[in-house]
Amino acid sequence: MEKYMILAPQKENGGLFMQPVIQDNVAHIVYDEARAAQPLKTFLLPPLDEVVGKKVQAEKPWLFLGIKACGLAALPILDQAFGGDFTDPIYQKRREESFIVSSDCTQPWETCFCTLVGGQPYPVKGFDLNLSKVWDGFVIEVGSLRGKTLLEGHDEVLKEVVREEATALEKMRNETTKKVEEQNRDFKFEKRHREVVSGNWESEVWERHSETCVECGACNHACPTCHCYFLDDVTRKTFVKLRGWDSCMYSGYAVTAGGGTPRPRLYERFRNRYFCKFKYLDDNYGMYGCTGCGRCIEGCQGKIDMRQALKDLVKN
């Protein structure tokens, strides 16, 4: 707490939300259980951000605590989108200064489906440190030099993991994985998601499943990998350029000068989101844009379940 502004999952109104940690609420941190409501992009790429002018520097860098595997899996997508030859300096600075302490998921939500898209409910890479709650302590895995450095000088609270603890950790991870697999047994299929989506451009499934969509954009905004944005020039006392989250489900998305749009119908925008997740991002970045976090299902006002839509495409 001396070095970092810590953000960690805490329970509120029946959900888990990333909240600042102060001395008074340290005991309220939820280390295991499931992922928080907000994805990491909420902080690294805020919903509305000023992108010109002198940036106000935070007093301390962020330490994200309790990030799950589905959250870590989204970072390579964002890193490539805002890195490379056209690096976004604002995102890059936040990303480089942030310290990530992940943790195992032991109580997945009913909407979680990481195992369907090649993931698992426990982190294996992408973290500085990982905490796995075992009995009355934590098994700590070091994932970076920065993580190793943070542990130095704290030998009084550290010890070598014994076989019984390692066995208990393996058992816990296996049980959680089976739980996620079991709750998704009706949505499992052998075909690759890319093949399922790519081979069904003209399927009636797109129109049928989009019938209850209200174009609220919750699926995009809650998604840990969606990163489309708009730029807005605002003149008040001084010129301000704002960047805000956009949504490919909005009717105004991709509208050109003169009012033209490549996707005028709702089902076309609905289809585009699935193609983006399972084909376009795979083409560009070599990985799916879906981590199975289930936030899009949880937040959908129209009760649309991505798992069911994909399953219907297979049956089509």
Convert the pLDDT of each residue in 63-100 to its tens digit: 999 999 999 999 999 999 999 888 999 999 999 999 99
Mean pLDDT value across residues 270-276: 98
Same-domain pairing of 307 and 200 = yes
| pLDDT greater at residue 282 or residue 238 | 282
Q: Are residues 297 and 230 in the same domain?
A: yes
Q: Is the distance from CB of 16 to CB of 37 less than 8 angstroms?
A: yes
- Measured CA to CA, the distance from residue 94 to residue 68 in angstroms comes to 19
Helix axes 266-275, 306-315, angle to 10 degrees: 90
Instruction: Examine the domain organization and report whether 148 and 217 are in the same domain.
Output: no
DSSP states of 243-292 as a string? EEE--TTSTTTTPPTTS--S--SHHHHHHHHHHIIIIIHHHHHSS-S---
Residue 62 shares a structural domain with residue 161: yes
Residues 151 and 268 both lie in one domain: no
CA 312 vs. chain centroid, Å, equals 25
- Judgement on whether residues 22 and 108 belong to the same structural domain of the protein: yes
Where a domain ends, among 136, 166, 187? Answer: 187
Structure tokens at 76: 């390579």
Whether residue 105 has pLDDT greater than 80: yes
pLDDT classification of 238: cutoffs 50, 70, 90? confident
CA 245/CA 226 separation, integer angstroms: 9
pLDDT digits (tens, 9 = 90+) for 110-148: 999 999 999 999 999 999 999 999 998 999 999 999 999
What is the count of structural domains for the chain?
2
Domain hosting 177: range is: 5-187
91 and 161 housed in the same domain: yes
Nearest residue to 123 (alpha-carbon basis) of 70, 169, 76? 70
Average pLDDT, the chain: 94
27 torsion bin: left (phi>0), alpha (psi -120 to 50), beta (else): alpha
Same-domain pairing of 199 and 54: no
Q: How far apart are CA 47 and CA 291, in angstroms?
A: 20
Are residues 117 and 80 part of one domain? yes
Give the SS3 label for residue 314: helix
Give the residue-averaged pLDDT of 240-266: 94
What residues have CB less than 8 Å from 309, skipping those under 6 apart? Answer: 205, 209, 274
User: Are 183 and 201 in the same domain?
Assistant: no
Measure Cα distances from 84 to 51, 75, 115, 246, 278 in Å: 19, 14, 29, 22, 22
Q: Which of 25, 107, 87, 35 is nearest to 295 (CA)?
A: 35
Give 155-174 pLDDT, tens digit per residue. 999 999 999 999 999 999 99
- Measured CA to CA, the distance from residue 159 to residue 137 in angstroms comes to 11
**Would you state the pLDDT for residue 223?**
98
Instruction: Name the residue type at position 55.
Output: K
Looking at the fold, whether 92 and 48 belong to one and the same domain comes out as yes
Chosen domain end from 187, 211, 236: 187
Q: With a cut of 70, say whether residue 56 has pLDDT above it.
A: no
3-state secondary structure of 240: strand
Tokens representing residue 111 in the block: 């909407």
Last residue within a domain, chosen from 187, 218, 238: 187
Q: How many CA atoms lie within 13 A of 245 on its CB side?
A: 21
Whether 207 and 172 share a structural domain: no
What is the rounded average pLDDT of the residues 214-237? 93
